[in-house]
Amino acid sequence: MDNVRAYNQMFNMTSFGARIDETINDGRSPYVFKVSGQIYHWIGSLCPQLGTRPRFLQLYIYDTDSEVENRMAHFGGGDSDRICEDLVRKLIHLLDSHNELVRLFWTARDKCNAVEIPTFKIRLFSVTGSKQHSLPTSDAIGAIVFDTGFHPDLKLVDAPGFTGGRYVVTVYCSIELDRMDYIRKKQKDIRKYYLSGLYDTISRGDQTGSDVGSRTILPASFTGGPRYMYSHYLDALPFPQLTASDRADIVARVFRFKVKEFVAFLKDGKPLGDFRGVMYTNEFQKRGLPHCHTLVWLHSSSSSPMSERIDDYISAELPDLRTHLAGYAVISTTMMHGPCGIPNLHAPCMEGPTCTQKFPKKYNDKTFFDADGRAHYRRRNTGVYNPCAGVHLDNSYVVPYNRLLCMTFQAHINVE
More confident residue, 189 or 24: 24
Whether residue 33 lies inside any domain: the answer is yes
Q: What is the pLDDT of residue 142?
A: 35
Mean pLDDT of the 387-412 span: 94
Query: In this prediction, what percent of the chain has a pLDDT beyond 70?
Result: 73
Whether residue 414 lies inside any domain: the answer is no
Whether residue 214 lies inside any domain: the answer is yes
Average pLDDT of the residues of the chain: 77
Are 174 and 261 within one domain? no
Mean pLDDT of the 391-412 span: 95
Q: What is the pLDDT of residue 13?
A: 83
* Residue 281, strand partner residues: 293
- Alpha helices per DSSP H over 35-186: 67-73, 85-98, 100-112, 175-185
Are 401 and 256 within one domain? yes
Mean pLDDT of the 334-359 span: 90
Whether residue 402 lies inside any domain: the answer is yes
pLDDT at 333 over 90: yes
Contact 363, 381 (CB under 8 A): yes
Domain that holds residue 162: 4-185
Are 272 and 357 within one domain? yes
Contact 125, 152 (CB under 8 A): yes
Mean pLDDT of the 100-120 span: 78
Q: With a threshold of 0.75, does the pTM exceed it?
A: no
More confident residue, 24 or 218: 24
- Alpha helices per DSSP H over 239-324: 248-268, 307-313
Cα(400)–Cα(335) distance, integer angstroms: 8
> Which pLDDT band, with edges at 50, 70 and 90, does 216 fall under?
low
Are 166 and 249 within one domain? no
Are 292 and 349 within one domain? yes
Whether residue 383 lies inside any domain: the answer is yes
DSSP three-state, residue 173: coil
Q: What is the pLDDT of residue 172?
A: 37
Mean pLDDT of the 152-165 span: 36
Question: Residue length, the chain?
Answer: 416
pLDDT at 152 over 50: no
Lowest pLDDT segment from 55-69, 107-121, 262-276, 307-321: 107-121
Task: Return the closest-CA partner of residue 227 out of 42, 333, 235, 302.
Answer: 235
Are 177 and 250 within one domain? no
Cα(197)–Cα(209) distance, integer angstroms: 11
Whether residue 320 lies inside any domain: the answer is yes
- Of 112-121, 196-205, 260-269, where does the model show the most confidence? 260-269
What are the CA-CA distances from residue 77 to residues 67, 73, 74, 82, 85 (Å)? 12, 4, 7, 10, 9
DSSP three-state, residue 376: strand
Q: What is the pLDDT of residue 44?
A: 72
How many domains, the chain? 3
Are 221 and 275 within one domain? no
State pLDDT tens for residues 13-49.
888 888 888 888 877 778 888 888 888 777 777 778 8
Contact 214, 177 (CB under 8 A): no
Q: Which residues of 368-381 are buried (b: 16+ CB within 10 A; e: fewer)?
A: eeeeeeebebbbee
Are 210 and 249 within one domain? no
Amino acid identity of residue 178, one-letter, is D
Whether residue 415 lies inside any domain: the answer is no
Cα four-point dihedral sign 361, 362, 365, 371 = negative
Are 216 and 249 within one domain? no
pLDDT at 289 over 80: no
pLDDT at 367 over 50: yes
Are 82 and 98 within one domain? yes
Are 232 and 249 within one domain? no
Q: What is the pLDDT of residue 166?
A: 33
SS3 content of the chain, % helix, strand, coil (to 5): 35, 20, 45
More confident residue, 154 or 378: 378
More confident residue, 169 or 20: 20
Are 22 and 160 within one domain? yes
Last residue of a domain, one of 185, 206, 222: 185
| Parallel/antiparallel/unpaired status of strands 386-388 and 152-157 | unpaired
Whether residue 416 lies inside any domain: the answer is no
